[in-house]
Amino acid sequence: MTTKEYQSRGLLSIFLHFFGPHRRLFALDMFCALCVAAIDLVWPMVSRSALTQLLPANAYTAFFTVMGVMLLAFCLRGGLQYVVTFWGHTFGIRVETDIRQALFDHIQTLGFDYFTKNRTGELMSRLTTDLWEMSELAHHGPEDLLISAATVIGALVVLMTIQWRLALVIALLIPIFLAVVLTRRRAMRLASQEVKVTAAEINADIESSLSGMRTAKAFANEPVEVEKFRRSNARYRQHKRKFYHEMGLFLSVMEVFLSILSVAVIAVGGWLIMEDRMNYIDLITFSMYITTFISPLRKIVFFSEQFASGLAGLRRFAEVMRTEPSVCDAPDAEELTDVRGEIDVQNVSFAYTEETEVLQDVSLRIAAGETVAVVGPSGGGKTTLCQLIPRFYDVTDGAITVDGKDVRKLTQSSLRRQIGIVQQDVFLFADTVMENIRYGRPDATAEEVAEAAKRAEIYDDIMAMPEGFDTYVGERGVRLSGGQKQRIAIARIFLKNPPILILDEATSSLDSVTESKIQRAFDELAVGRTTMIIAHRLSTIRAASRIMVIADGVIAESGTHDELMALGGVYATLYRTQTEVR
């Protein structure tokens, strides 16, 4: 389904959509569940017939034949119950994995702004705990409702043929019981939703705390982290306690009504026997059906709990699926191929929020194969400008073109395949060195990966590692130094070999010797390619043919190093400051 379809459909329609591919398995589960209910309904009637007809007539053969048939029926029931349990849960897990895949696929389409606003731990909770409860609802919900409805209605019909007065008493009590359950369902749903929110917050806190463990230890702030988690954990305990309070009310109501049901049957049945309107065998039959009622009524109660949890998860799932990506491909978007690398920024303005404008009427033209450096004070808009080119965000006003084509008219995937980005904040996956470099081009051979590593000046370091290219880098590359991580990220770009390069502080974590080596490699890679270099260290922009100075969201200065030094403006001040520091 598309995002628009998720927005227009109700929760039940969204849920049932995922049943479609597995409808045969669902039908098998429901059929077997009905057969189980039928056998449970038949047994009291068979017992009544045996007690009223076969035993008084001393019909040994018929009696034990009937008992043998019922024994076989209960053996069949055991087999059917296996099908319901195994294949029913198989159906549930298939629905769960389909929903999880749809959710993950949709998350991949969301823009940078979504991940800025939402914590990783909360998204993990939506992908795990919430979906497990939806899986349980997918399996047990329809099955429990079907068995319960079939058993209760079927039993009432049979009991009406035996003694309608006593059956009417039972029929009046059951709706009262269901009314109480439905009344309490909303409270359970709200309590369950609060539990999910706090559970997601705990996941987010754990993820944040574990990721920042080294920082916490460096500042000796372990007690601060413990206190933060204690507060989150206490909120979870409070909401969970409220949920169990609601569940306790359910269970208490159920036990009271089941007891009332049993007492009512014996009391009214005893009165009818004393009035000579009913016999003991019929009362025993009624009692057996009351026992048959207990399981379905319990299932209704547990279904209400399950429904509350599953619905809360479904709402959170639908909330994400109904979120429109901030950056979408146009309906007529075309593929970007045969790239020369000409970039034209035309009167571009951009704001992350309505209150704060980051770029204001910026215009810049970069010829194919030209190397342009972008410098300026922190927060001036340098990185933002470079993020607009691969369309991580859409411009607020103006336009950006690549080879004369508006980036908003190009498919995002084809545009980003043509652009190589080395960011200041390096991210490595919890995988091997080989796979982290190969991420630049997943189909690359081992030889091509090794060549990229050599050009990034990281090959010797890799070969000195315990398992070479098969060395595990740890979570976020924690087992590597900052310089090693950055050079592996640079190796990815050498492997990708794109026509457009964006180097966002690409050598900021390197020592002077390694930086010099990498710079030579970048100079080689930049030949014949359009390159934008964002730099604080002005020593890294020697190869730039032009230097753009961005300050306060506008291009304050533009020119060569000598021209800008002669101008005596922002660039000259930055250069002299760095020279004095050195």
Flag whether 331 is in a domain.
no
Flag whether 326 is in a domain.
no
Total number of domains in the chain: 2
Flag whether 145 is in a domain.
yes
Q: Are residues 237 and 283 in the same domain?
A: yes
Q: Are residues 208 and 355 in the same domain?
A: no
pLDDT band of residue 567 (cuts 50, 70, 90) is: confident
Which segments of 210-367 are extended strands (E)? 343-351, 357-366
The residue segments making up the domain with residue 409 are 343-581
CA–CA separation, 104 and 446 (whole Å): 30
* pLDDT (average), residues 516-543: 74
Q: Are residues 347 and 278 in the same domain?
A: no
Please tell me what DSSP assigns to residue 551. Answer: E
Q: Are residues 453 and 316 in the same domain?
A: no
390, 471 contact by CB (below 8 A) = no
CA–CA separation, 303 and 184 (whole Å): 12
Q: Are residues 186 and 264 in the same domain?
A: yes
CA–CA separation, 137 and 306 (whole Å): 6
Structure token pair of residue 235: 């909120």
Helix, strand, coil percentages, rounded to 5, for the chain: 65, 10, 20
Flag whether 337 is in a domain.
no
- Angle (CA) 149-153-157 rounded to 5° is 165
Q: Are residues 516 and 420 in the same domain?
A: yes
Residue 336: name the closest of 392, 399, 417 by CA.
417
Q: Are strands 546-551 and 371-375 parallel, antiparallel or unpaired?
A: parallel
Q: Are residues 151 and 210 in the same domain?
A: yes
The CATH number linked to 274 is 1.20.1560.10
Lowest mean pLDDT among 13-27, 409-423, 499-513: 499-513
Is residue 344 classed exposed, middle or buried when 0-12, 13-18 and 19+ CB atoms within 10 A define those classes?
A: middle
Q: Are residues 307 and 392 in the same domain?
A: no
Question: What count of other Cβ atoms lies within 10 Å of the Cβ of residue 86?
Answer: 11
250, 180 contact by CB (below 8 A) = no
Backbone φ, ψ for residue 334 (5° rounding): -115, 160
Which of 257, 287, 321 lies at the terminal end of a domain, its last residue?
Answer: 321
- Alpha-carbon Rg for the chain in angstroms: 35
Give per-residue pLDDT as tens, 429-438. 888 888 888 8
pLDDT band of residue 544 (cuts 50, 70, 90) is: confident
Average pLDDT value over all residues in the chain? 81
Q: Are residues 284 and 392 in the same domain?
A: no
Give per-residue pLDDT as tens, 92-103. 888 888 988 888
Give per-residue pLDDT as tens, 183-238. 766 677 677 777 777 777 777 777 677 767 766 766 677 787 788 888 888 888 88
Q: Are residues 80 and 203 in the same domain?
A: yes
Backbone φ, ψ for residue 326 (5° rounding): -70, -25
Structure token pair of residue 384: 């933002």
Give per-residue pLDDT as tens, 168-180. 888 888 788 777 7
Give per-residue pLDDT as tens, 330-360. 888 888 888 888 999 899 898 887 777 888 8
Q: Are residues 560 and 476 in the same domain?
A: yes
Lowest mean pLDDT among 48-52, 188-192, 495-499: 188-192
Lowest mean pLDDT among 70-74, 119-123, 444-448: 119-123
The CATH number linked to 443 is 3.40.50.300
Considering Cα of 435, then 437, then 442, then 445, what sign does the dihedral take? negative
